[in-house]
Structure 1
Amino acid sequence: MSRIDETLEFMSVRIAVLTVSDTRGPDQDRSGDVLVERLQGAGHVLAARQILPDERGQIAGQLRAWCADPEIDVVISTGGTGLTGRDVTVEAHRDVYEKEIDAFGTVFTMISMQKIGTSAVQSRATGGVAGGTYLFALPGSPGACKDAWDDILAKQLDFRHRPCNFVEIFPRLDEDQRRK
Structure 2
Amino acid sequence: MSVSQHKKEAPKRVNCKVITVSDTRSKETDKSGSLIINMLQDSSHSVQDYQIVTDDYEVIYEAIKTGCLDKEIDVILLNGGTGIAKRDVTIEVVQSLVEKQITGFGEIFRMLSYLEDIGSAAILSRSIAGVYNDTAIFSMPGSRGAVKLAMEKMIIPEISHVVREIRKDLK
Same fold (TM over 0.5): yes
- Give, in whole Å, the separation in 1 of the partners of 2:6 and 2:105: 23
Please state if 1:152 is matched with 2:158.
no
Instruction: Note if 1:125 corresponds to 2:123.
Output: no
Question: Is 1:171 aligned to residue 167 of structure 2?
Answer: yes
How far apart are residue 20 of structure 1 and its match?
0.2
The one-letter code sitting in structure 2 at the alignment partner of 1:101 is I
State how far apart, in whole Å, the 1-side matches of 2:10 and 2:69 are: 27
Q: Determine the structure 2 residue equivalent to 1:44.
A: 45
Alignment of 1:1-180 (within 5 A): 11-114=12-115, 115-158=117-160, 165-172=161-168, 175=170
* Whole-angstrom distance in 1 between the partners of 2:94 and 2:166: 19
Could you tell me which amino acid in structure 2 is paired with residue 152 of structure 1? M
Write out per-residue CA displacement over residues 17-73 of structure 1, whole angstroms, 9 at most, x where no aligned residue: 000001111111000011001000000000100000000111011111110001100
Unaligned runs of 5+ in 1: 159-164
What is the alpha-carbon distance in structure 1 between the residues aligned to residue 128 and residue 76 of structure 2? 12
Change (3 A) 1:27 1:3: same
What root-mean-square deviation, in Å, do the aligned CA atoms of Structure 1 and Structure 2 show?
Answer: 2.2
Q: Partner letter of residue 118 of structure 1?
A: S
Aligned CA distance change for structure 1 residues 6 and 97 (closer, same or farther; 3 Å): closer
SS in 1 for 2:28: helix
User: In 2 relative to 1, CA 13–6 (structure 1 residues): closer, same or farther, beyond 3 Å?
Assistant: closer
Residue 104 of structure 1 and its aligned partner are, at CA, apart by 0.8
Q: 1:161 maps to which residue?
A: none
- Change in 2 beyond 3 A, CA 1:117/1:66: same
TM-score, normalised by the number of residues in structure 1: 0.87
What amino acid maps onto 1:74 in structure 2? Answer: V
Distance 1:43 1:88, change over 3 A: same
How many residues end up aligned between the 2 structures? 169
**Percent identical residues:** 35
